[in-house]
Amino acid sequence: SQPEQQIVSSQLECVQSIREGVLEEAECTESERAALLPRPGSGAETRSRSALTLVRVETETRYSEGDSEDLYVTDILYEREVTKREVTGAEVAELVWKLCLAHSASYETADLFMTLVFELRHLSLETLRALWQRSSFKCRDNWQPLIDALPSCATEACVVLMKDLIASGEVEEDKVEHFFWSFAFIPNPTSGMIESLAPLLKSPTAGQSCFLGVTALVHRFCSTHSSCGVVPAVQSVMRTLGKFLGGDCTVQDPEHLSKMQLVLKAIGNAGLAAAALAPALSSCAALRSHPMEIRLAAVQAFRRVPCALGVSDLLPHLWD
């Protein structure tokens, strides 16, 4: 005997009535049929019908004048009541311990974690360092709540602590990557954050996440500080990147080529601060003896630098 096979088919039909650009009625019929082969006439069929009718059109929002004081426009960022009391390191350490004891997939854990993030923002660098010494342990499932909460903290003290942990090698490589990428999302970066992170660019092990994470932070800082080029911390980052260029981006081997491309991408990533390296970038792009990848990367490094800063005067001769 032949094995039975099931064939399923469906159909949806809708009829709409539109008058003066307004949908007044809609009626839809949906049918689902399942048939068994090779048995003719067997199977099942369902049919559903739905109808939608316009009742009225209102041109004004329905609320009383008395309710207007409770209405306001805001963004969709998470809101949490600001903690007015002083938060201590001992309280946060206890919170980390509670997170370890809580079930990993529960509303309680989510609420505790958000509380941890917001309370970390009230701690000084000294308190954070003491907290790390006390609460850097792993939970039973190998989870470190403090490590996961730090990237969302977004304060200068938290950034400095993350830098310390990266430099000392106390965190695993995947968490280091997480730290670096989180810098791009810090809403209000400070020069102190940039100053603390700048030395990491000089490390022989500095990779893509380091270069792009730090320069993304510089870009965000410069977006709100038009004169960021005179800030010592920003100058330090750009000097370090400029030294990698060597004046005209000459490369010796494929490995050096890859590194140079990364540095040029990081310079472009820094935004307004890249204007300080405009002459060097122009030289890198102008030399016809350079690989095309380097010349193109040098031109792309200008992408966030306003032409009003005189950068446009350095580019025309590239096309001669």
Residue 175 is assigned to a structural domain of this protein: yes
Question: Taking the model in full, what pTM does it have?
Answer: 0.71
pLDDT at residue 153 in the model: 94
Same structural domain for residues 95 and 133? yes
Mean pLDDT along residues 223-244: 93
Comparison of pLDDT for 232 and 39, the residue scoring more: 232
Same structural domain for residues 257 and 153? no
Confidence of residue 316 (pLDDT cuts 50, 70, 90): very low
Percentage of the chain beyond pLDDT 90 is 52
Mean pLDDT along residues 176-181: 95
Same structural domain for residues 194 and 313? yes
Nearest to 209 by CA among 219, 221, 201, 199: 201
Comparison of pLDDT for 84 and 179, the residue scoring more: 179
Residue 231 is assigned to a structural domain of this protein: yes
Residue 159 is assigned to a structural domain of this protein: yes
Same structural domain for residues 26 and 94? no
Same structural domain for residues 46 and 106? no
**How far is it, in rounded angstroms, from Cα 290 to Cα 250?**
7
State which of 188, 205, 231 marks the end of a domain.
188
Nearest to 87 by CA among 119, 112, 117: 119
- Do 135 and 114 form a contact (C-beta atoms < 8 A)? no
Please write the tens of the pLDDT for every residue from 39-70: 666 778 889 999 999 988 877 665 555 556 66
Mean pLDDT along residues 22-38: 85
Same structural domain for residues 183 and 193? no
pLDDT at residue 208 in the model: 94
Please write the tens of the pLDDT for every residue from 6-27: 577 888 999 999 988 888 999 9
Report the residue count for the chain: 320
Find the domain containing 248 and state its range. 189-320
Mean pLDDT along residues 174-194: 94
Same structural domain for residues 97 and 206? no
Please write the tens of the pLDDT for every residue from 92-150: 999 999 998 887 777 888 889 999 999 999 999 999 999 999 988 888 788 899 999 99
Same structural domain for residues 193 and 320? yes
Q: What tokens does 44 get? A: 């099942």
Residue 199 is assigned to a structural domain of this protein: yes
pLDDT at residue 49 in the model: 92
- Do 138 and 104 form a contact (C-beta atoms < 8 A)? no
Name the burial class of residue 265, with classes exposed (0-12), middle (13-18) and buried (19+) by CB atoms within 10 angstroms of its CB: middle
State which of 138, 164, 188 marks the end of a domain.
188
Q: List Cβ neighbours of 40 (8 Å cut-off, separation of 6 or more).
A: none
pLDDT at residue 230 in the model: 93
For the cut 60, the answer to whether the pLDDT of residue 3 exceeds it is no
Residue 79 is assigned to a structural domain of this protein: no
For the cut 70, the answer to whether the pLDDT of residue 320 exceeds it is no
Same structural domain for residues 171 and 193? no
How far apart are the two ends of the chain, measured CA to CA in Å? 80
Please write the tens of the pLDDT for every residue from 287-313: 888 889 999 999 999 888 877 665 666
**How far is it, in rounded angstroms, from Cα 150 to Cα 183?**
11
pLDDT at residue 67 in the model: 57
The total number of structural domains that make up the chain: 3
Provide, for the chain, the percentages of residues in helix, strand and coil under a 3-state DSSP scheme, each rounded to the nearest 5. 55, 15, 30
Residue 242 is assigned to a structural domain of this protein: yes
Same structural domain for residues 183 and 195? no
SS3 (DSSP) at 294: helix
- Do 290 and 247 form a contact (C-beta atoms < 8 A)? no
**How far is it, in rounded angstroms, from Cα 118 to Cα 84?**
12
Residue 63 is assigned to a structural domain of this protein: no
Same structural domain for residues 193 and 177? no
Same structural domain for residues 174 and 205? no
Residue 146 is assigned to a structural domain of this protein: yes
SS3 (DSSP) at 251: coil
**How far is it, in rounded angstroms, from Cα 221 to Cα 212?**
14
247: left (phi over 0), alpha (psi -120 to 50) or beta: left
Buried b (16+ CB within 10 A) or exposed e, 224-237: ebeebbebebbbbb
State which of 188, 215, 231 marks the end of a domain.
188
- Do 100 and 145 form a contact (C-beta atoms < 8 A)? yes
In a 13 Å sphere around the CA of 72, the CA atoms on its Cβ side amount to 5
